[in-house]
Structure 1
Amino acid sequence: MDSSDSDFDVLIVGAGISGIGMAAHLEMHCPDKRYAIVERRERIGGTWDLFRYPGVRSDSDMHTLGFVFEPWRHEKSIADGSSILEYLDRIVDERGIRENIRFGLRVETADFDSATARWVVTVVTAEGERKRLTANWLYLGSGYYDYDEPYDPGFELGDFQGEVVHPQFWPDDLAYEGKNVVVIGSGATAVTIVPAMAERAAKVTMLQRTPTWMFSRPARDRLANFLRKVLPSETAYKITRWKNVVMQDVGFKRAQTKPEQVKEFLTKKMQEHLGDSYDANSFTPPYDPWDQRLCLVPDADLFEAIKRGDAQVVTGRIARFAPEAVVLEDGSEIPADILVTATGLKLAVVGKIAVSVDGDPVDFSQRFYYKGCMFSNLPNLAVVFGYLNASWTLRADLNAAYVCDVLNLMDAKGADIAAPALSQAEEDALEEDDIFDFSSGYIQRSKAIMPRNAVGFPWRLNQDYRVDRKQMKSDPIDDGILHFKALPHAPADDAAPARSPATRTAS
C-alpha cells in the first residue's frame, strides 16, 4: 500500500457481509466520502471464505441474509457458501468497491486522537510489517467470533489414532470416503456437516451431549421464484424479504409466548420426517425453542441421511477416546476414523482490536450499546453485531444506513466528532438488561466481555428487527444524546462541504 494513501474519511475493518454492506451504503449515500476496507485475509467474504467444511451453507434465507439494496436471484434461498461468495463478488465488482479493499492487513490497534478527530490505526501485514492508517470514522465489520482460535472444550484425546479436524480450520485434502466419522456437537455446523459427509463416508455419527431443536424447510422458496417470474426482480425481492422477516418474527415470538405449542409442532414435524428412525431421547431438548437458535435442516437432508442409515444421532457423554472409537460413559463405543470437533465458536469483541481514546484503553464491557450500533461516550465508531434470532444482514443494513445519516449530518453541522453522551448519573439510573437472552454455550461463555445493555432504547442491542427498523428510521439523528463537536482549530481547507442529511434508505 502506498504510504500516501493512508488517510480516509471512513475506515472499514473486514470485507465480509458487514464491511461490504457499509461500503455499498457509502457509495450510494455518501459518495463524497473517501473510504477503505482493510481485510486480514486475501479474499473477500469473511465467514463465507473462512469456512470450507463440506456442505457449508447459510442457516438463514438469502432474501434476508442478502442486502436490502441487492436482490438475491438464485433459485435456492438457503444457499451454499460458494453461491454467497458469488453474490458478494458481484456486488464489490459492480459497485466499484473492490478497488478500495486492502487485503492482507490485520488491524492491531486503533486510538482516537481527540485533538485531530482521527483514528490512528496500526495494521500488520502478513510479513509482520506495521503500517499506520488514519480516518475520521472507524466502522468495525469484523464479525463476532475469534478467527484465530475456536472454542476448545478441553478434550483429552488419549489413545485416539485417527484424524481430528475443527470446522474452522478444515483441511483441503481430508479424505473421508469409506471412513467412520464422528461429529461432536449438535449446532448448525454439525447439522450441516453430517448429511454432507454422509454422502461419501461409511457412517457419520452426530454425537451430542444435549439435543437441539430442529426444523426443516425447502431450500427453494417457491413464492420467491414465482414472484421473480412475474414481477421486476427488485419488487419480488422486497415482497419475499418482508414476508420472511414477518414469518421469522412471528415464529420467534410464538416460541416465547407459547413454548409448549411450538415444541409440539416441531416434534410432530421431526416425527413425520424421520418415521421409524425418530428417537425422542435424541430429538427432545431440555429447553424451550429459541432459548437457543433453532437449527435449520433444508430439504430435511439430515433426516433423510438418518433414514438411509448413512448417519445417526447419539446422545451421551464422552468417557474417553480409544484408538479407533469414542467411548461413552454408558460403556458404548462409536467407531471413529475421523473426529470433527463442531463444539462451537469463541466470541471476540471488535475483532480483538486494542481500542483506545487518547491513549486510554477502552473496556467495552463497561460501555453501553447505543442503538445497537455505537457505544456510550465513544466517538466516531460503529460496529455490527447481527441478530441471533434473525439474519445478520438485517442489522448490518440498518447500522450502515444509520452511520451514513450521521456522517451526512456531521457535514451539515460542520462537525468533526459525534459521540453518544452518557453521564455517570444517567448511567447509574439505567436499568440493565441481559444482553443475550439465549442459553447457547458460546453466548453464555462470552457475557463477561460483552458491552452493557439497558432495558430501554437507545442504550441497548435489541433482538427485534421490526422494532429496530421503525425506531432507527423515525427517531431523529440529532436526538440530544448524540453530541456533535467541531474542532476549534481545524484548517478551513480540510473542512468537509456542508450537505443536507441524506434521505434514509429502507432496510
Structure 2
Amino acid sequence: MPDTLLQPETDLRTEHFDVLIVGAGISGIGGAYHLTTQRPGTSFVVLESQHSFGGTWLTHKYPGIRSDSDLYTFGYRFKPWVGPPIAAASEILRYMGEVIEENGLSPHIRYNHLIHSAAWDSAAKLWTLLATDTATGERRRFTTNFLWMCQGYYRHAEGYTPEWPGMQDYKGRILHPQTWPEDLDYTGQRVLVIGSGATAATVVPAMAGKAAHVTMLQRSPTWFRIGRNGIDIADQLRELKVDESWVHEIVRRKILFEQAKFTARSFSEPDKVAAELLHEVKRIVGPDYDVGTHFTPRYRPWHQRLAYVPDGDLFQAVADGKASVVTDEVERFTEKGVLTKSGQELEADIIVTATGFHLNVLGDIAFTIDGKPLDFHETVTYRGMMFTGMPNLVWVFGYFRASWTLRADLVADFVCRLLAEMKERGARQVEVALRPEDHNMPLLPWIDPQNFNPGYLMRGMHLLPRRGDKPEWQHNQDYWSEKDQFPGIDLKDSAFVYSR
C-alpha cells in the first residue's frame, strides 16, 4: 500500500464543490459544459484518474481504433461534427479538446486523481470523496453536495481474457486491445485475433496491411452493418454552403430516425434484416465464400451490439486474402499458437484477445451510505440514472443500440433541472424511493437478457441494480421515446423525496 494511503485523514485539506463529476470522458466533459451553460455560478470539479481527457479514446491504443457509431450522434448536440461519420480516436480527442477549450472547462478538471472512496453523510447532507493524485502521490479530500458519475461502465486498467489451458506454453506474445503497447511492430508477423466483436472488426483490417496474415478466430459470428464512411446529405448540404450547425442537426435527425426504424425492424422482421445485412457481406467476399458459417450469427440482429463497418474494410481484407476467418473454439494454447476444438492448429507470432472487458460498477469506488457499505445490486434504478437509497447522485449509463452521448446529453439536462428544483425548494437532499403503488412491483435484472445479452453484462448482472416493470423504474434503451420523456419527468412526483 502506498504511504499516501496511510496518511491520517485529519491532515488532509478539504475542497468543497456544489457538484463533483467523476470522469473526463465523453459524459463528464458534456456534463461540465451543460453545468456552465444551464447552471452558471455552480461550483464544480471534474476528477479524472487518467493523465488527460477522453476516457476510452485516450486509453485504447490498438491499431485502427475508431468509433463504432456515427459521430453526428456520438458527438454532442451543441457542437457540430464536420468529419466523416466513423472517426478515429485521434479525431474524437481533437473534437473533445475543442469543447474544453472553447468553453473554458480546463480549470475545472483535475487529472491523475484516482478516487478510492465516496461516503454519504445524511446529517451533513454531503458526499466526501478521498482520492490520490497519482502524479504527486498526495492524498486529497473533496466534499460535494451532488455527485455526478460519468466514469463509464468498464475497467480501463485491464480487459477480459478467459483463462485457456496452455497459455503459459505459448512462446509468442499475448495482447489485449485495452493494454496495447504503443511501440509494437507487427510488420511481417502472423497475427491471430480471438473474438468477433467491434474491436476485432477494427483490429483485423487495421493490422492486415502490415502483418504477414491476420486470422480472426471466433466462437460464433457477429452482426455488422456495412456502409460508406460518408453521408450523402451532409456532402450535399456542404456543397450548398449550409451552416455547419444546420448540417449537424439535419444529419443527426436523419440518422436517429433511420436508426430507430432499423432497430424496430430488427424486432418486427428479423429475417428480412438479416438477409439485407448478409447481402452486403456477400457482395464483398463473393458468392463462393462460406457466409453461412463465418458471418451468419445464431441470434437476431441487435440482440447484441451491431457495429458499423465503414466501407466494409473487414470483409475487404478477407476478400483480398490478407485476413481469414476461422469459426471454432479454443481447445488450448500450444507453443506455436492455438489448437481449436476441431483439431486445427493456428500458428501465430502474436495473439490478440479481443474478448471483451470487465464491467466497472461505479468506478470501482468504495461507496458507503451513513457508514454502511453500499450493495449496489440491492438498489432499484430510476430510469437507469438514479437509485433507491443513494441520495444526491446521478449515474450516466448510455444506450446499447444508439450513441452513448445521446443519453449523456439527456441526463445532463435532467441533472440541471433537478439542481434547479432543489434550489427552488431549499432542499439539500434528494433521492428516489418506491411509491406506495410500487411496492408490489416485480424486481427484475438490470436488463432483460432476451432483449440484449452481451457477455460483459451477463458476467456482471449480479453487480448491477435491479429494475421494475414500470417505465420509470428501468433503463429502456430507447432514445426515440426518452428524448420526449426526459424533458417531461415530473420532479414533483412522489418518487422524488426531498429534504432540507
Which interval holds the TM-score relative to the shorter structure? over 0.9
Distance 1:421 1:248 in 2: 34
- In the alignment of these two chains, the number of paired residues is 484
Contact 1:326 / 1:333 at 8 angstroms: preserved in 2?
A: yes
Change in 2 beyond 3 A, CA 1:200/1:17: same
SS at match of 1:272: helix
1:190 counterpart letter in structure 2: A
Question: 1:314-347 CA deviation, whole Å, 9 max, x = no partner?
Answer: 1111222222232222222222000000011111
Change (3 A) 1:178 1:386: same
Letter in 1 for 2:326: V
Matched, 1:450 2:464: yes
Which residue of structure 1 aligns with residue 226 of structure 2? 216
Correspondence for 1:152: 161
Say whether residues 1:269 and 2:274 are aligned partners: no
1:465 correspondence with 2:479:
yes
In the TM superposition, what whole-angstrom CA distance separates every residue of 1:249-277 from its partner, at most 9, and x where no partner exists? 11111111111111111111111121146
| Paired residue type of 1:206 | M
Greater shift after overlay, 232-241 or 396-405? Answer: 232-241
Given the superposition, is the C-alpha separation of residues 207 and 141 from structure 1 closer, same or farther in structure 2, using an over 3 Å criterion? same
Segments ≥4 residues shifted beyond 4 Å: 2-5
Give the residue type in structure 1 aligned to 2:453.
S
Q: Hey, what does 1:109 align to over in structure 2?
A: 117
**Helix, strand or coil for the counterpart of 1:385?**
coil
- Structure 1 distance, partners of 2:171, 2:264, is 47
Name the CA distance, whole Å, in 2 between partners of 1:64 and 1:277: 37
SS in 2 for 1:130: strand
Stretch deviating more after TM superposition (317-326 or 9-18): 317-326
**TM-score, length-scaled by structure 2:** 0.93
Instruction: Single out whichever of 59-68 and 317-326 deviates more from structure 2.
Output: 317-326
Greater alpha carbon shift after TM alignment, 294-303 vs 57-66: 294-303
The offset of 1:130, in angstroms, is: 2.4
Deviation at 1:468, TM superposition (A): 0.9
* Distance in 2 of aligned mates of 1:11 and 1:158: 44
2:319 corresponds to 1:307: yes
1:422 counterpart (414, 423, 434): 434
Q: Distance in 2 between matches of 1:377 and 1:326?
A: 48
Give the secondary structure class of the aligned counterpart of 1:443. helix
Report deviation, 1:243: 1.0
- Tell me what 1:335 maps to: 347
| Whole-angstrom CA distance in 2 between matches of 1:124 and 1:148 | 16
Corresponding position of 1:178: 188
Partner residue of 2:260 out of 238, 249, 257: 249
Kindly indicate whether residue 245 of structure 2 is the aligned counterpart of residue 234 of structure 1.
yes
> Could you tell me how far 1:5 is from its partner in structure 2?
7.0
In 1, Cα distance between equivalents of 2:437 and 2:476: 23
Equivalent-residue separation in structure 1 for 2:99 and 2:29 (angstroms): 8
% identical equivalent positions:
42
Alignment of 1:286 with 2:295, yes or no, is no
Is 1:120 matched with 2:134?
no
> Is the CA contact (8 Å cut-off) linking 1:161 and 1:324 kept in structure 2?
yes
SS at structure 2 position matched to 1:148: strand
**Quick check: 2:14–2:143 contact (8 Å CA) kept in 1?**
no
- After superposition, residues 16-55 of structure 1 pair within 5 angstroms as 16-55=25-64
- Structure 2: gaps of 5 or more residues: 1-10
What is the Cα deviation at residue 6 of structure 1?
A: 1.2
Q: Could you tell me how far 1:430 is from its partner in structure 2?
A: 4.2
Unmatched 5+ residue regions in structure 1?
487-507
* Stretch of structure 1 that moved more, 27-36 or 315-324: 315-324
Q: What are the Cα deviations for residues 161-219 of structure 1, in whole angstroms up to 9, with x where unaligned?
A: 11111100000111100000000000000000000000100000010011111121111
Q: Map 1:370-409 onto structure 2 (within 5 A).
A: 370-409=382-421
Mapped to 2, the partners of 1:207 and 1:277 lie a distance apart of 20
For 1:191, the aligned partner's letter is A
CA contact (8 A) 2:159 2:177 kept: no
2-side partners of 1:197 and 1:150: how far apart? 20
Q: Is the 8 A contact 1:56 1:192 kept in 2?
A: yes
> Offset at 1:222?
2.2
Within the candidate set 137, 148, 159, 1:139 is matched to 148
Displacement, 1:304? 1.0
Cα distance between partner residues in 2 of 1:278 and 1:456:
47
SS in 2 for 1:458: helix
Residue 492 of structure 1 corresponds to none
- Partner Cα distance (2:101, 2:181) in 1: 29
CA contact (8 A) 1:158 1:320 kept: no
- Aligned residue number for residue 207 of structure 2: 197
Alpha-carbon distance in 2 for matches of 1:267, 1:376: 44
Aligned match of 2:102: 94
- Give, as a single letter, the amino acid of the residue that structure 2 aligns with 1:177: T
Partner of 1:441: 455
Change (3 A) 1:228 1:403: farther
SS at match of 1:60: coil
- Indicate the larger mover: 432-441 or 363-372: 432-441
Separation in 2, partners of 1:43, 1:388: 26
Contact 1:62 1:78 in 2 (8 A): yes
Which of the residues 31, 55, 58 maps onto 2:67?
58
AA partner of residue 153 (structure 1):
P
